[in-house]
Structures are given as structure tokens and as C-alpha cells.
A and B are shown apart, each in its own frame.
Chain A
């Protein structure tokens, strides 16, 4: 029967979602293989690297597509829709938790920065720690925006779809965000 076997790895995300609507288990497995790691790290970045919480949120995210795969709008790009779903979950989570405090608390309690330095990339680690500290002070909307743009490397158009905002607004927000962050981080030291 191998002749008739569906090659799931060759299918697009959107095709896999359609197969998932027909309860094709392999379609789910393929989507899980493609998205579990990036989505987990997306959650982690926005949940101050709380691994347990991120795993829980990843579980809930995939549960949504198991239970209601028909909610996927076939006209949309799957990754955009999936990120939007995840972003909404994060937004809801922030309503219940005061995560912004957690990052500062982590450093206070542990007495060490989130990313530990090593000899090779000392500047980068320093930068990441400072960046995370500054990001943790921001509103969740801006943190999500920053994460999508600079860590997930999404296009402006995709971010606009994920965050349900006009592209112009996204561009403008990113510009001012970068301007403020770079000022806070004091990256440029005039001689």
C-alpha cells in the first residue's frame, strides 16, 4: 500500500490542517513536528523563560487544533493564524499574571542574570540580558511585537495579521520601540 501512502512531509501547513479536520493522525504529528519547538520557544521568550508554563501553553495550543481544527480559516496562512492563536493565549495569560515583575524577581532571587556569560559571546549575552530587562518593563503587546519582529523574524504583513493591526501601525510601533530601546540600552557611547 506504500504506493498510495500520503507523503505528509511534502504537504503544506494548510493542507495538513485540512487533513487534520478529517482526523488524520499523521497530519497532526507532522504539524507538531514542524511547530512544537518554535512555538515553545516563542512562549518561553514571552513568559520569561518559564519552561513549565511554556510547556503547558504549548499543550493548550495544540489542544485547540485537536479539538476545533475547523476553526482554522483556510484562506489564511497557517503559521500566521497559529501565531495569532498563541499571541492571544499569551495576552490572556498576562491578564492573570503579573509577569513583568517576574523577570526582575528572577534576577533578584537568583542573584544571577537570565543568560550566563561565556567567553565567546560576552557582548551578546550582556546585550540579551539588558534587552530582556528592558522588554520586561514593556506592555505585553509591545513585547509580542518585538518578539515577532526580531526573534521570530516575521514580516510586517504577517505581524499585522497576527496582531490584527494595520501594517502602518505596526511599522510605526516598531520604529518607536527600537528608538526607545536603543536609547535605554545605551548601545552607542560617543567618544
Chain B
């Protein structure tokens, strides 16, 4: 029979510090396991990504702000989507920060098969360390539904300004996540719009 105590350094009792370290290791493992299992349980639930309310003449759907699109310099394009059914267009409200003063004209989504663009409407411009632009654009629902239907065809967002075009790209992993979420939400909208 093997004496376990002898394997830990010739019968010496473990110090209080090593005893504590061991406990923290176990505790960390327990917390990590709980976090992972909780996140996995909620991973497939899309209800936290949107809100819906009844509003004449149908429902008002709101997809919470999404990130992921960035310029090559790392400037983020954050947008949310509002859709009042059964209208043909939805409203995308977006925030973009830039060091330069911009005169933004329109915004477009471009995938390998589809291009949509529309003039923007200003909500506000704020001055911080950078200029913060908050604008709104209305785009056709069907076109956006098609764009989100393809998780492999990664689109590009183009912001058309008076003197330049600012392009935003998204990583494949992020697009796959957001496209599948939004596609399911648009499926839901489509089903509810059916008579």
C-alpha cells in the first residue's frame, strides 16, 4: 500500500500557502465550469438580441446594437435595426467616430451578389476626443434579409462622404454569428407578416 503523505515531500505537511493555492485552483475550475455551462445554455437563445412590441399597423421590432464592422484603422461601426411591420423598409441607426469632420451623404451594403444604398439622415453629431456621428438610413427589408441569409458571403459597408468613401469590414467569425442571429429574427418577422 502506498502512503500518500510520503509522496508529498517526505511526510511534511503542506504549508498554508500551498493549501490555499490548491483551493483557489479548484474554486477557479468550478467558477469557470459554471460560466461555460451557463453561456452554452443561453447561446442559442436569440430573444436577448431583439425586442418586439405591438404597434399599429403591426409590430415594432428592434435589434439591439451590433458591433464587428471596422475600418482597416480599427474605427468601429455600431448599428441597430428598427423595423415596423409590415413596411417595406427598415431603419438602421449607426454610430461612427472619426478625427475628421465629415459630410456623410449615404450608406451602402455590398455583398458579392447584392448592393443596396440609401441617403442618410442625421440624428446628431457630438464632439468628444473625436467627432461622433449618429445617423439613420432606411433600406429595403428584403435586401437585408437576403444579405443576412448568407453566412459565408461577408458583406462590406460603405459610408459615402463628400470627399471620400469609408469602408467597414467584418471578421468571418463575427459575421457568421450576427448573420445567423439576424437571419432568425428576420425569419420571425417574415412569418408574422404572412397573412
* Chain B associates with chain A: no
- A interface list, Cβ under 8 A from B: none
